[in-house]
Amino acid sequence: MMKRIALFTSGGDAPGMNAHIRAIERVGGKRGLEVVGIIGGYSGMISGHFEVLDRIRTANIIDRGGTVLKTSRCEEFFNPDGRVKAVEQLRAHGIDGVIACGGDGTFHGAHLLWTEHQIPVVGTPGTIDNDLAGTDYTIGYDTAINTAAQAIDKIRDTADSHGRLFFIEVMGRHAGFIAMDVGIACGAEYVAVPETITDIDELYQRIIAQGVDKRTVVIVGEGDELGGALGISKKIEERYGMSSKVSVLGHIQRGGSPTVRDRVLASRLGAAAVDALIAGKTDVMIGEMASAITYVPLEDTWKNRKPVPTYLAELASILV
C-alpha cells in the first residue's frame, strides 16, 4: 500500500513543472499520502536531499516558470553505483513510489529504478521539446512555442524594415516540433528541422523567390544536420555569397510563466500520476492523447520516435 510517495523534476526545466508539483501535492494529500519532493533531480536522490511538501510549500507556484524542486543532468545516476546510493536513500526515507517528471533521459533512469531495484515509478512528460511518444503534448511545450513566437515576431519587424534575411534557431534537441509550429505561426519562408534533410539549393531558391531585398525569415531547429542556424547561414554565404543575420533564441524558450494549456496539462497529469501509483502502475509514462489519459511503457517513449506530423511540413511549405 502506498503511504509515502516522492516526486522530482529532472533534465531541462519546463514551464508548468511547478503546476505539476502543486497538483501532485494536492491530490496526494487528498488521497491520504505524504508527498516528498526530491531536490535537484537524480543528484538530490543520490545525496538524500528530500523535503516533505505541504500546501504552504506549493502555494503561489502555479504561475511560476522553472521548478521549485530544482533540476539537474546527473551523470552519476547513470552508473550502477550511483543508482544503488539513490535507492538506499529512497528506502531510508520510506518511499513507496516515485513520480519522475522530465524527458527521455529522466525516463531511462526511472526505468532502471524499476527494472534493477523494483522501485515503483511512473514518469510524466516534462520537456519543452514535445519529443516523447505516447503523449500529444509535453508539459512546457505550449509555453515554449508561445515564447519563441513572440521573439520571432519581434525579429520579423526588424527583418521586414531592413529587408534582411534572418536565420532564427529554436530549441528542440533532435526534434523539430518547436521549429515547425512556430514556423507556421510566424509565417516563416522556410522551416529546417532535424527530421528531414535540408536542401541548401532549394532553400536558396526560396530566398531568391522571396526577393533578395525583401524580408526572409528561416526557422531552424537546433538539431538540423547542417549545424543549426549558424551552419546554414555559413553554407548560404559560402555557396552563394549571400550574407544574413543569425539569432539563436536559446534558453529564453525554457523560462517564463506557463500558459493556461501547460498549467492544465501539468495539473491533469499530476493527478493521474498519483492515481496511477495508487493503482499499482509502474514503469509507465502518464500522457494525454486525444484528451484521454494514456499509460505508455517508459521504454516505448524513447524507442518509438514521435514524428512531426507530415501535414505540418506540407502546411509550412504551401503557406509561403
Determine the Cα–Cα distance for residues 18 and 157; give it in Å rounded to an integer.
34
| Closer of 12 and 231 to ligand F6P (Cβ) | 12
Determine the Cα–Cα distance for residues 276 and 285; give it in Å rounded to an integer.
10
Q: Which of residues 282-301 bind ligand F6P (CB under 6 A)?
A: none
Strands 50-52, 34-38: pairing kind: antiparallel
Instruction: Quote the least distance from Cβ 173 to ligand F6P, whole Å.
Output: 4
| Closer of 142 and 222 to ligand F6P (Cβ) | 222
Q: Which of residues 181-240 bind ligand F6P (CB under 6 A)?
A: 222
Q: Would you call 129 a catalytic residue per the annotation?
A: yes
| Closer of 187 and 255 to ligand F6P (Cβ) | 255
The one catalytic residue among 129, 142, 224, 283: 129
| Closer of 25 and 169 to ligand F6P (Cβ) | 169
Binding pattern for the stretch 162-181 against ligand F6P, x by CB under 6 A and - elsewhere: ---------xxx--------
71 binds ligand F6P (CB under 6 A): no
Instruction: Quote the least distance from Cβ 30 to ligand F6P, whole Å.
Output: 32
Among candidates 114, 82, 85, 83, which has minimal Cα distance to 98? 114
| Buried b / exposed e along 153-182 (16+ C-beta atoms within 10 A) | eebbeebeeeebbbbbbbbbbebbbbbbbb
Residue with cell 492544465: 264
263 binds ligand F6P (CB under 6 A): no
Signed CA dihedral, 183, 188, 189, 194: sign only: negative
Instruction: Quote the least distance from Cβ 298 to ligand F6P, whole Å.
Output: 17
73 binds ligand F6P (CB under 6 A): yes
86 binds ligand F6P (CB under 6 A): no
Q: Which of residues 108-147 bind ligand F6P (CB under 6 A)?
A: 127-129
Count residues contacting ligand F6P (CB under 6 A)? 11
Q: For residues 259 and 267, is the Cβ–Cβ distance under 8 A?
A: no
Determine the Cα–Cα distance for residues 121 and 111; give it in Å rounded to an integer.
8
254 binds ligand F6P (CB under 6 A): yes
| Closer of 120 and 172 to ligand F6P (Cβ) | 172
Instruction: Quote the least distance from Cβ 239 to ligand F6P, whole Å.
Output: 27
Beta-strand runs (E) in 44-172: 50-52, 97-102, 121-125, 165-170
DSSP 8-class letter at 231: H
First to last CA, the chain: 57
| Closer of 174 and 206 to ligand F6P (Cβ) | 174
Q: Which of 103, 176, 258, 287 binds ligand F6P (CB under 6 A)?
A: 103
Q: Classify 241 in phi/psi space as left (phi over 0), alpha (psi -120 to 50) or beta.
A: left
| Closer of 58 and 253 to ligand F6P (Cβ) | 253
Q: Which of residues 4-33 bind ligand F6P (CB under 6 A)?
A: 12
Instruction: Quote the least distance from Cβ 11 to ligand F6P, whole Å.
Output: 6
Grid cell locating 121: 515509478
Instruction: Quote the least distance from Cβ 14 to ligand F6P, whole Å.
Output: 7
Residues in the chain: 320
Q: Within 13 Å of residue 53, how many CA atoms lie on the same side as its CB? A: 27
By annotation, the residues acting in catalysis are 129
Point out which residues bind ligand F6P (CB under 6 A): 12, 73, 103, 127-129, 171-173, 222, 254
